[in-house]
Chains A and B, each alone.
Chain A
Amino acid sequence: AQTVTQSQPEMSVQEAETVTLSCTYDTSESDYYLFWYKQPPSRQMILVIRQEAYKQQNATENRFSVNFQKAAKSFSLKISDSQLGDAAMYFCAYSLGANSKLTFGKGITLSVRP
């Protein structure tokens, strides 16, 4: 079975600084998809970024980028120029493909200091 591990329960970052959230996963599959979702206090689940395992290029969405290391089964999220609105719970998630469920990590709470 696939597992997703987020070992850091909490992190804090100064506004305008950069922070990296870690995620590792375990799978025997070669083709899969990885995601970061953000859950602010409203509890809405918001997609931040997505990475296809077959792509070597790391995904980027504005201030958000990932460092995908397939051999190490590592998928970290870098947030640049952190803003107060980035404060939230961040979940790393894994999916096998079409019609496949998401398997989530335990999440990490990110706080942003003004």
Chain B
Amino acid sequence: AAGVIQSPRHLIKEKRETATLKCYPIPRHDTVYWYQQGPGQDPQFLISFYEKMQSDKGSIPDRFSAQQFSDYHSELNMSSLELGDSALYFCASSLSERERTDTQYFGPGTRLTVL
């Protein structure tokens, strides 16, 4: 079965640079979520999209922005990178139905290192 695809898998950037992370959800899934997992931490919710509209926002810095495109893939744009942005970034997707939620399936993650 097809899974969530994330690219790139690894990314190394310098401070103050910009990074773009991409996520391709499972086919027919209409909801995408982004999470950030720091070393030794639990994943923290950043932002989500349902049918290409932002549906929820968590502790996402103003330096970060995201969107979901017409083909349902999503991109997380991160500017003015800081050392503290070094983390594993997960994308998850789900097929949401009215008054219930389907399970979130996670991609393999993008490991971002900021030097």
Contact = CB atoms under 8 A, between A and B. Distances in A.
Interface residues of A, number: 24
Nearest to A100: B101
Given A101-B58, A105-B42, 12 more contacts: A35-B103, A43-B111, A46-B106, A47-B104, A50-B103, A91-B43, A98-B98, A99-B48, A101-B48, A102-B43, A102-B45, A104-B42
A99 B55 contact: yes
B25 interface: no
Nearest to A95: B101
Contacts of B43: 45, 91, 102, 104
B97 interface: yes
Interface of A: 33, 35, 37, 42-47, 50, 91, 95-107
Interface of B: 31, 33, 35, 37, 41-45, 48, 50, 55-56, 58, 88, 90, 92, 96-101, 103-106, 108-109, 111
A99 B96 contact: yes
11 contacts: A42-B108, A45-B43, A46-B106, A47-B105, A96-B101, A98-B98, A99-B50, A101-B33, A102-B33, A102-B45, A106-B41
B98 A107 contact: no
B2 to A, nearest CB: 15
Contact of B97 (A98, A103, A104): A98
Contacts of B105: 47
A91 B42 contact: yes
A97 B56 CA distance: 12
A97 B99 CA distance: 7
Contacts of A44: 106, 108-109
Nearest to B108: A44
Contacts of A42: 108
A101 B59 CA distance: 12
Given A102-B45, A106-B42, A47 B103 contact: yes
Contacts of B41: 106
Nearest to B88: A43
A17 B35 CA distance: 34
Among the interface residues B43, B96, B111, which one has the most CB atoms of the partner chain A within 10 A? B43
